[in-house]
Structure 1
Amino acid sequence: MRITHSLNSVLERWLPEQRLFLKSDKTTRFLRLRPMTQLIALGGTALVFGWSIIASSILVIDAISAGSSRDEALRSQSAFEARLTDLSAERDSRAAEAVAAQNRFAVALDQVSRMQSLLLESEARRRELETGLGAVQASLQEVVKARHQAEASDEDGAAAPARTAELQAALDILAGELKQAASARSEAVQQAEDARRLAETVTLERDQIVARNDEILTQLEDAVSVSVKPLDDMFRSVGMNPDEILKTVRRGYSGQGGPLNPVGYSSSGNAEITQGEAKANEILITLDQMNSYRIAVEKMPLAMPVQAAFRYTSPFGRRWGRMHEGIDMAAPVGTPVYATGEGTVVFAGWQRGYGNLIKIQHELGTETRYGHLSKIRVKVGQKVSRGSQIGDMGNTGRSTGSHLHYEVRVNGRAVNPMSFIKAAQNVF
């Protein structure tokens, strides 16, 4: 008591004692506000005011950081899509060059084959001419020998020179044919050599193009793998099984058709082509997975239900010993409330505790709820899209002030809506 009295005496200089009179019809009473009581009241007021300023600053900084992260994600996504488009165009260009090189290589091989056939024919003709020339030379030698014998015996002197002239003419014809065949053979050998060099050049060009195509396919494979991982992590972060999501999407988008063409086979071996096709098929599978994820993202409630300025007043989890299955966003009465994803309205009306409530059923087993509304702008059975206004914020039901109670349920189980909101920052 002495300490309290001393403190009151010291504080009385700055906080003199105040009296609050309460007057009724018959009596008059007063409350005495001592300096110590006034100091405690002022300190509590300052503490509450300071806490409000700090909390508001944290929320403003968090909102600014979220906006910067969302812009950075948009820029990264645009740059990645542009890079993926460039790689796809370059891959198509290289594939066309590879086809052209393959065609030139086939033409060169055909030319080499024709030159080899001509060379073989020239060689055979040369051998025939050499054989004929040998026979003519043998006959000529016999004639010369017979002439010498005829001159020695002085018999049949006129017939021998005639036969010699005939054989000499045949020998000249054969020599001319042999010379022509040798010239044709040399020309065929030169053409075959040129065709061989052309084939080597085309083969080297084709190998370079194949290597470049393999490099492009590797870059595409790495790019799509890096792109799929964040989507896979996003679905796991909101408590959804990515494999089940892919199965559901593929069941809804599974049409096929078109004429079937005969299967083509290569006579020169297809080990290299098979390896390239296998890598291309892996890329197509990954691209299909990424596209399925994109379809699933379009069907999920990933947007913000409130786009105006607001304040988070209650998180997801236990509150006062009971489970709070959503988050509360406080803003003035009449603030627009928007659908966070494409879906169908399954409930729009009054429900105990929630007040005016809207339930929207989305695909992939997700549902969103919007409670304590002052006005409902949709009807049961109505189709809504992401970003369409469905109601106005209010203070209906079990509520202490104007706010939106926002819930997200997956297969009937309430999950933290903040996981969807944070995941949306990496998508939109």
Structure 2
Amino acid sequence: MPEQRLFLRSDTETRFIRLTPLTQASVLFSGALIVGWTILATSVLLIDSIGAGSARDEALREQQIYADRLNELSRERDMRAKEARMAQERFNAALAQVSEMQSRLLASEDRRREFETGIEVIQTTLRRTMKERDNALARASEIVDKYADVSVAIKADGSQRREAEDTVEFLTATLSQTSGERDSMALVAASAEQRLDEMRKQVRLEREKNDRVFSQLEDAVSVSLEPLDEMFNSVGMPPARILETVRRGYSGQGGPLTPLSISTKGEPADATSARANNVLDRLDTLNLYRIAAQKAPFGMPVKSGFRYTSGFGPRWGRMHKGTDFAAATGTPVYATADGEVIWASRQSAYGKLIKIRHEFGIETRFAHLNKIHVKVGQRVSRGDRIGDIGNTGRSTGPHLHYEVRIGSKAVNPMTYIKAAKNVF
């Protein structure tokens, strides 16, 4: 870069500015620095703009996927509710069929006993008549022999002979009458045997029909019991212990759970009675399951217009002991099982809180409520509206914080909700 001079000429004088190589280098370096900084800043702005557009697109896609998932869950919930209604209808139909078949079975047993009693009476009468006939024949034979021995003496005395002839005529008439009675009783016995065969055939057909009905009932009861077994096992509630607890609580005579059975009047139960009693025992078990399910928190606390925002487990370095259901303020909150309200007021970070004590040592909690519709000591049933969703206590927005506790230990509420989705 040779030294340059920049001349500035006016009307009266001429001046120049000398540009040394160092000055020129400084100017060129400064210009290059400005141009480079401009290019770099423009690139950064373009990259930020492109990145922001991609993030917005990604957020929109995630929002659409989330909305689709919510719609899918809503459809699945509606489908499960429909299946639950259909299962309840099938259960009611099975109970009605059991009642009808039990009545028919009892009527059939009564007819069979009447037939057996009638046949026994006929056979007894026939045996007695035949015995009387045999005795009369034996007596007649003895009399004939007796009078045969004295026939010579009777011939000597005309009056005695006449008396003997009258006696023989009387015996002959008696024998003829006895023979007629014998033939008549033989006809009655043959008719009774024919009637007995018809009754046996009718009883056999009735038993075959009952066998088909019992098979259908046993299948229906098995189909109803298996999902309930799986539901209780999946939440760690042994069915045997649960059923025993419910049975102890409903053991009063004449109560809804008095065991059903078909009486055998002290005699050994036949196959039909034993099978009927087995079906009735399993129906009694099904009824116990139904009561136990009402007393455990298998229901949904929120039924419309909600989304899951936080599940059970660690959150932000602390343990989140429940499941959050986000919904608009005022959305109804329902009891998830039968129980007794033991708290219905504010409690620090929970805000407005409801606690319900259930059977089997279970407690449910409903926090951050806007309104409370129950009071302490009140008995509630599953599906009763107990409050409204709100934003009280330590909360970032309207939602329900739902907890399930066994003793003092919190457990995952979704375990119960998922276990019951194929049953209710």
Band of TM-score, shorter chain:
0.7 to 0.9
Task: Tell me the equivalent position of 2:359.
Answer: 363
Task: Tell me the equivalent position of 1:185.
Answer: 182
Task: Tell me the equivalent position of 1:296.
Answer: 292
Question: Does structure 2 retain, via aligned residues, the 8 Å contact 1:84–1:220?
Answer: no
Moved more, 104-113 or 355-364: 355-364
Relative to structure 1, is the Cα distance of residues 350 and 174 closer, same or farther in structure 2, using a 3 angstrom cutoff?
closer
Q: Cα deviations across residues 188-231 of structure 1 (Å, max 9, x unaligned)?
A: 33223333333343344344445544554454344333322222
Return the offset for 1:88: 2.5
Name the amino acid aligned to 1:48. Answer: A
Structure 2: 5+ residue stretches without partners: 1-34, 256-262
SS in 2 for 1:409: strand
* Residue pairs, 1:14-413, within 5 angstroms: 34-137=45-148, 139-140=150-151, 142=152, 170-210=167-207, 212-213=209-210, 215-256=212-253, 270-271=267-268, 273-413=269-409
Distance of 1:334 and 1:175 partners within structure 2:
107
Task: Tell me the equivalent position of 1:24.
Answer: none
Distance of 1:307 and 1:162 partners within structure 2:
115
Return the offset for 1:244: 2.6
Relative to structure 1, is the Cα distance of residues 244 and 169 closer, same or farther in structure 2, using a 3 angstrom cutoff?
closer
Question: Does structure 2 retain, via aligned residues, the 8 Å contact 1:98–1:206?
Answer: no
Question: Does structure 2 retain, via aligned residues, the 8 Å contact 1:119–1:189?
Answer: no
Relative to structure 1, is the Cα distance of residues 182 and 63 closer, same or farther in structure 2, using a 3 angstrom cutoff?
same
Question: Does structure 2 retain, via aligned residues, the 8 Å contact 1:300–1:362?
Answer: yes
SS in 1 for 2:360: coil
Distance of 2:71 and 2:143 partners within structure 1:
107
Q: Using structure 2 for the length normalisation, give the TM-score.
A: 0.77
Question: Does structure 1 retain, via aligned residues, the 8 Å contact 2:340–2:358?
Answer: yes
SS in 2 for 1:364: helix
Distance of 1:52 and 1:80 partners within structure 2:
41
Q: Cα deviations across residues 129-149 of structure 1 (Å, max 9, x unaligned)?
A: 233334444544x479x8xxx
Question: Does structure 2 retain, via aligned residues, the 8 Å contact 1:130–1:178?
Answer: no
Q: Cα deviations across residues 265-307 of structure 1 (Å, max 9, x unaligned)?
A: 67xxx44x35444434433332222222211222233332223
Distance of 2:308 and 2:318 partners within structure 1:
19
Distance of 2:272 and 2:65 partners within structure 1:
60
Distance of 2:375 and 2:148 partners within structure 1:
115
Q: Cα deviations across residues 362-394 of structure 1 (Å, max 9, x unaligned)?
A: 232221222233444444444444334433323
SS in 2 for 1:372: strand
Return the offset for 1:100: 1.8
Relative to structure 1, is the Cα distance of residues 161 and 69 closer, same or farther in structure 2, using a 3 angstrom cutoff?
same
Task: Tell me the equivalent position of 2:412.
Answer: 416
Moved more, 184-193 or 209-218: 209-218
Name the amino acid aligned to 1:404. Answer: L
Return the offset for 1:414: 1.8
Moved more, 410-419 or 129-138: 129-138
Name the amino acid aligned to 1:332. Answer: A
Name the amino acid aligned to 2:173. Answer: G
Q: Cα deviations across residues 69-100 of structure 1 (Å, max 9, x unaligned)?
A: 21122112212321331133123212212212
- RMSD over aligned Cα atoms: 3.5
Distance of 1:402 and 1:422 partners within structure 2:
24
Identity value in percent: 40
Moved more, 33-42 or 210-219: 210-219
Relative to structure 1, is the Cα distance of residues 377 and 120 closer, same or farther in structure 2, using a 3 angstrom cutoff?
closer
Question: Does structure 1 retain, via aligned residues, the 8 Å contact 2:364–2:405?
Answer: yes
Aligned residues: 382
Relative to structure 1, is the Cα distance of residues 265 and 376 closer, same or farther in structure 2, using a 3 angstrom cutoff?
closer
Distance of 1:178 and 1:169 partners within structure 2:
14
Name the amino acid aligned to 1:101. Answer: R
